[in-house]
Homo-oligomer: A and B are copies of this chain.
Amino acid sequence: MGTFYGIGVGPGDSELITVKAVNIIKKLTILYAPQARKNGLSFAEKIATPYFTDSLTIKRRHFPMTHDLAEKQQSWNEIAAEIIKDVKAGNEVGFITLGDPSVYSTYSYLADIVRDDVPIKTIAGISSYSQIAAEVSIPLTIDNESLEVIPATASIDQISQALDVNDNVILMKVSAKFEAIYQLLSDRELLGNALLVSDASLESESARKLSEMAISEKVPYFSTVLIKKQLRF
């Protein structure tokens, strides 16, 4: 029997992957790559491509982006069954995921399904928020400060609570809810403490102060807001 590896490929730059992840990708026989759209190449696959060997079999699998949990679970179950079969046949099998596999990743669901049947190993990756802090050379947290990571898909009450009790807050996936987030930060007089970073580590990367933006602006899909109460941007 082989092993199933969940591999974080980092935030975007192919160099922001660990040496361990590269070494494991090179010894895989089968690699599962997520596809957001049918027939599309995933962002995670693009990042990892420089490390693929000629003998690697790539299995692109579509993970539906839907709020229908039953539909998602059906797709996870089907892919997990295939992975179990491949590992039991003696293959070293990988699944690549953007950023860190332990942070908001589809990998967590796959791992939960396959872990009773085959050995699994998780290879940590650089998370998008870690890269955002690095890009602007501003710490996420220091001393006795706390740091909260929360997706903008959480309720405004939960986000407000996070701002109440933390020195540093990272708001993930803000693009679909930017207006409500902007309004909340404005109401709490925190616009001056907030930075919007988009496409971290990519050529299209940008970092903008929220105090210099308009509430109606459209922000890129890969956008995160970093709020630091002890710092004015």
Please report A residues at the B interface, Cβ cutoff 8 Å. Answer: 6, 8, 10, 13-20, 22-23, 100-105, 108-109, 111, 115, 120-127, 130-131, 133-135, 137-144, 146-151, 153-154, 158, 161-162, 165-166
Counting every copy of the chain, the complex holds 2
Alpha-carbon gap, A105 to B102, bound state (A): 22
Top 9 A-B pairs, shortest CB-CB distance? A102-B133, A15-B20, A108-B139, A124-B134, A122-B134, A146-B150, A147-B149, A102-B140, A122-B137
> Which one, B23, B103, B138, contacts A102 given CB within 8 A?
B138
Q: Is the CB of B146 within 8 A of A147?
A: no
Complex Cα–Cα for A161 and B17 (A): 35
Beta-carbon contact of A124 and B131 below 8 Å: yes
Which residue of chain B has the shortest Cβ distance to A105 in the bound complex? B139
Would you call B16 and A18 a contact (CB within 8 A)? Answer: yes
With A111-B137, A142-B104, A161-B165 as given contacts, are A13 and B20 in contact (CB-CB < 8 Å)?
Answer: yes
Would you call B10 and A139 a contact (CB within 8 A)? Answer: no
Q: Chain B contacts of A15 at CB under 8 A?
A: 18-20, 23
Rounded to whole angstroms, the CA-CA distance of A134 and B19 in the bound complex is 15
Question: In the assembled complex, which residues on chain B have CB atoms less than 8 Å from the CB atom of A147?
Answer: 103, 148-150
